[in-house]
Amino acid sequence: MARLRLKEARAEYPALSRRFYNRDTVDVALDLLGRKLIHWTAQGMTSGRIVEVEAYLAHRDPACHTYRGRTPRNEVMFGSPGRAYVYSIHARYCFNTVTESVGEGSAVLIRAVEPIAGIKLMQARRGLLNLPDLARGPARLCEAFGLDRRYDGLDLTSSGRLWLSGTKWSAKMGRIMRSARVGVTEPRHRCLRFFLADNEYVSGPRKMPGMRPVKRN
């Protein structure tokens, strides 16, 4: 029965293709807003809409983990686009999706989601009930969704249990804003944090250097 429900979920919310991730990192970051993050485990399914992301670029970006070259820790970032890059920081975890072509070394950090399904499971994992705080921030998100280093390198386009859905949020997302990344000092022209301005589940400050609306063609 569980296998059948998983099959139905993947049919209703098909995973984004490798082609989606094999593009400019900023474009991928912006297009991830409003998409669903879905994780299926023996405990149950958790899902949420992505409301905040940060882009980390392969070139001239000192904040990117690949800036100083290839290491065992960042090896996944040089691999196929559409794979999960999960790293630890202070005994907690951050979840990223690898972007652009093999060998580039870029990724998008998923900073926050709006919980949709599996909320009780998220609350149990986080040990709190307050809905806006369940997955607001990358470490909280990983805890709520049960993600850790075991998922590093997982193919999000075909893994079967962890994926980002190609189904776009049907409701109007409202304004998309950009700003400096949280904890990163960067020039105004390189503001690589993107978020839904009117969404209460966004994690970072609402006022940051370089903040402005995103204009897309």
In which residue are the tokens 């994992």 written? 125
Structure tokens at 32: 């991830």
More confident residue, 102 or 216: 102
Please tell me the predicted confidence (pLDDT) of residue 187.
65
End-to-end CA distance of the chain: 44
Every domain of the chain and the residues it spans: 2-213
pTM above 0.85, yes or no: yes
Token pair 């307050």 is found at 130
pLDDT tens digits for range 71-90: 999 999 999 999 999 999 88
Give the rounded percent of residues in the chain with a pLDDT score beyond 90: 71
% residues pLDDT > 70 (the chain): 94
CA distance 140 to 154: 20
Residue in the block written with tokens 């070394």: 105
Rounded CA-CA distance 112/196 in Å is 10
The CATH code belonging to domain 2-213 is: 3.10.300.10
CB of 74 closer than 8 Å to CB of 66: yes
Position 1 scores a pLDDT of: 40
| DSSP state string for 158-173 | T-SSEEEBSPPPSS--
Tell me the C-alpha distance between 27 and 55, whole Å: 9
Instruction: Give pLDDT tens digits for 173-183.
Output: 788 999 989 88
